[in-house]
Amino acid sequence: MKILSQNTAFGGMQGVYSHQSDACNCEMTFAVFVPPKAIHEPCPVLWYLSGLTCTHANVMEKGEYRRMASELGLIVVCPDTSPRGNDVPDELTNWQMGKGAGFYLDATEKPWAENYRMYTYSTEELPAFVSQHFRVDMDRQGIFGHSMGGHGAMTIALKNPDRFRSCSAFAPIVEPSTADWSVPAFEKYLGPDRAAWRRYDACALVEDGARFPEFLIDQGKADGFLENGLRPWLFEEAVKETGIGLTLRMHERYDHSYYFISTFMDDHLRWHAERLR
């Protein structure tokens, strides 16, 4: 593991690290905040998955999670959103595909399949790596994310209900297999057979029988992506009569930005901490 930076914050340590990823076949960077409590005992770990165009750095710089994570004793890990490097295929003028747009899936189509394996990276390789290098209690894991990362968090939780005790999302893409900004990417990463897309779609997963106890979703009503990209009401409909709990909070005047995310960050951290005790 390479240490790229380490800074003391709120009595804990915000670090940025990189390692060679077998899943993505490239060097991957991630951020980890370790609260002071982890000096004495293993702490619960919260995985934060970021949205389109992001790296590990967006939430680290603008998410404002450290004060509360420090207070609650939560380790927060923020992976990158795609493989990186000059050898990794990309669409330079398309922010909804390629680098910064990994959609937390394992691509099956050329040329993407060689590197774009963010599902395996986020659910297997990075957790194994983090558990080796940090004092994490892997029996107490939660996952959350924003937009494309909200989609990632919800689909990963639905597919791994025994691993995660809590899941929440800020403005998630709840049905990427029908949303304007994700259908072209799904076609390129996964091919034309839409049956294969359902494994990476929260609404479809629920329809197909996947279950997770409960979700918290915050959504801004002034979010420019609400109608065509995010549509949380589809998930509300999907979970009806399934026994899955959903707290969906719609907020007047909030948009899609980190101003919105940072406003509700403390609520999400408390939501997770209560379930990770």
Ligand X SMILES: N[C@@H](CCC(=O)N[C@@H](CSC=O)C(=O)NCC(=O)O)C(=O)O
Which residues contact ligand X (rule: CB under 6 A)?
A: 51-54, 58, 62, 95, 146-148, 256-258
Q: From the CB of 152, what's the least distance to ligand X, in Å? A: 9
Q: Which residue blocks in 181-231 are alpha helix, DSSP H?
A: 183-190, 202-207
Q: From the CB of 158, what's the least distance to ligand X, in Å? A: 18
Q: Is 262 a catalytic residue?
A: no
Dihedral sign for Cα 234, 240, 244, 247, please: positive
The whole-angstrom distance between residue 248's C-alpha and the CA centroid of its chain comes to 18
Residue 187 to residue 146: CA distance in whole angstroms:
22
Q: From the CB of 133, what's the least distance to ligand X, in Å? A: 27
Q: Which of 146, 151, 256, 268 is catalytic?
A: 256
SS3 label, residue 145? strand
- Residue 249's DSSP bridge partners are 218
Q: Is 147 a catalytic residue?
A: yes
Q: From the CB of 241, what's the least distance to ligand X, in Å? A: 29
Q: Closer to ligand X at the Cβ: 59 or 216? A: 59
Q: From the CB of 50, what's the least distance to ligand X, in Å? A: 6
Beta carbons within 8 Å of 234's beta carbon, 6+ residues apart: 174, 175, 203
CB atoms within 10 A of CB 2: 10
Q: Which of 70, 122, 147, 168 is catalytic?
A: 147
Q: Which residues of 78-101 are buried (b: 16+ CB within 10 A; e: fewer)?
A: bbbbbbbeeebbbeeeeebbbbbb
Asked if residue 218 lies in contact with residue 171, where contact means CB atoms within 8 angstroms, the answer is: yes
Q: Closer to ligand X at the Cβ: 33 or 258? A: 258
Q: Closer to ligand X at the Cβ: 58 or 155? A: 58
Q: Is 146 a catalytic residue?
A: no
Q: Closer to ligand X at the Cβ: 160 or 257? A: 257
Beta carbons within 8 Å of 20's beta carbon, 6+ residues apart: 26, 27, 28
Q: Closer to ligand X at the Cβ: 46 or 54? A: 54
Cis bond before residue 127 (omega within 30° of 0): no
Find, among 63, 57, 69, the residue nearest to 30 by Cα.
57
Query: Which residues have a catalytic role annotated?
Result: 147, 223, 256
